[in-house]
Amino acid sequence: MLEVASVGGDMKVETGWPADVYRKLYSKVYDLANRPNVDEFYIGRSVEPDQNSSRHGYDDIKPIYYSDSIANAKEIENDLIGVFGEHPKCNNDAPDSRGGHAPGYGQFVYVALWYR
């Protein structure tokens, strides 16, 4: 299991109630999505986001949020997909949060990136 402090690279992984961190997360996704060198992005949720490389084949991943609550992580993922799902670079097919649950494990919300 990843430790929150060990992920995120150049980007802080936010924690806390969704209402308290949503604006920061929106800004992070907006900044990532609009970088000129980003060709596509995907918003997802996982127990260990760095293990999703084989499934998505991304060039980079930026974990942006962590919660011990699956409900909080799903709320953040849903809200961000709802806002950015129509962005021309977004490759999320589903219009909302989907996928499995891992009771007893925290959840990361991440942005996977493909570069030009």
Query: At 1, is the secondary structure helix, strand, or coil?
Result: coil
Residue 83 has pLDDT above 90, yes or no: yes
Alpha carbon distance 39, 1 (integer Å): 30
Question: pTM of the full predicted structure?
Answer: 0.87
CA 41 → CA 2, 75, 77, 90, 106, distances in Å?
Answer: 22, 19, 14, 5, 23
The pLDDT of 26-54, averaged and rounded, is 90
Q: DSSP strand E in 1-116: where?
A: 14-15, 38-46, 60-67, 107-115
Q: Can you give the pLDDT at residue 8?
A: 47
Q: Grade residue 43 by pLDDT with cuts at 50, 70 and 90.
A: very high
Residue 27 has pLDDT above 70, yes or no: yes
Among 80, 84, 96, 69, which residue's Cα sits nearest to residue 33? 84
C-alpha gyration radius of the chain:
13
Structural domain range at position 65: 4-115
Domain total for the chain? 1
**CA angle in degrees (0–180, nearest 5) for 38-39-40:** 100
Q: Grade residue 94 by pLDDT with cuts at 50, 70 and 90.
A: confident
